[in-house]
């Protein structure tokens, strides 16, 4: 643990009839240890790439689910491509099946549970990105700026 430096200053007052001695101690805190700027940059770069991966994965999931909704609503004939989209999106929509009743109107089907799935995946990605904010290195200037702007 770093030790504090102490400096003593003695002053003598000659204006008073009795000589008064006053001792003042000045304590200097140890310098703040900060990480090397290159290390901070590398950490922020990794976190930024993680953000990009999270949003990319969310985009793929949302695309598959939106395509599933479109194909079900249009009553698409089950061809190879349609079956591929259904088989890729089925595991993503399965946990939410049955939450809301599916609307059927003579052919086209509206899967409301797939809309719920899309919202849940969006909120999950948003939560992960905000969770990563806790491990992002910050500088004292960033802290002061954020604290002052929220005051």
Residue 1 maps to a domain = no
Decide if 126 contacts 114 (C-beta within 8 A). Answer: no
Q: Which residue is listed with tokens 């009795």?
A: 18
pLDDT tens-digit map of 35-94: 777 887 888 899 899 999 999 999 999 999 999 999 988 888 888 999 999 999 999 999
Confidence at residue 13, expressed as pLDDT on a 0 to 100 scale: 55
Instruction: Please check whether residue 21 lies inside any domain of the structure.
Output: no
Which pair of structure tokens corresponds to residue 79? 């061809």
CA atoms within 13 A on the CB side of 21: 4
Tell me: pLDDT of 17 over 80.
Answer: no
Report if residue 56 sits inside a domain: yes
Taking a C-beta distance cutoff of 8 angstroms, is the pair 59, 42 a contact? Answer: no
Domain count within the chain: 1
Gyration radius of the chain over CA positions: 31
The domain of 119 spans: 37-137
Residues 96-122: tens digit of each pLDDT? 988 887 777 676 788 889 999 999 999
Residue 6 domain-assigned (yes or no):
no
Q: Give the start-end residues of each E strand in 45-117.
A: 103-104, 109-110
Instruction: Please report whether residue 78 resides in a domain.
Output: yes
Is residue 142 in some structural domain? no
């Amino acid at each position: 643990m770093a030790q504090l430096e102490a400096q003593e200053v003695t002053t003598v007052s000659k204006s008073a009839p009795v000589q008064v001695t006053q001792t003042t101690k000045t304590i200097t805190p140890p310098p703040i240890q900060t990480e090397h700027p290159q290390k901070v940059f590398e950490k922020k770069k990794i976190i930024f790439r993680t953000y990009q991966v999270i949003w990319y994965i969310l985009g793929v999931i949302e695309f598959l689910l939106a395509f599933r909704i479109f194909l079900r609503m249009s009553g698409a004939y089950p061809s190879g491509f349609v079956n591929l989209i259904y088989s890729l999106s089925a595991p993503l929509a399965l946990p939410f099946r049955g939450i809301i009743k599916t609307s059927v109107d003579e052919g086209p089907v509206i899967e409301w549970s797939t809309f719920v799935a899309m919202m849940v995946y969006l909120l999950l990605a948003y939560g992960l990105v905000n969770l990563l904010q806790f491990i992002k290195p910050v500088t004292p200037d960033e802290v002061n700026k954020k604290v002052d702007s929220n005051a």
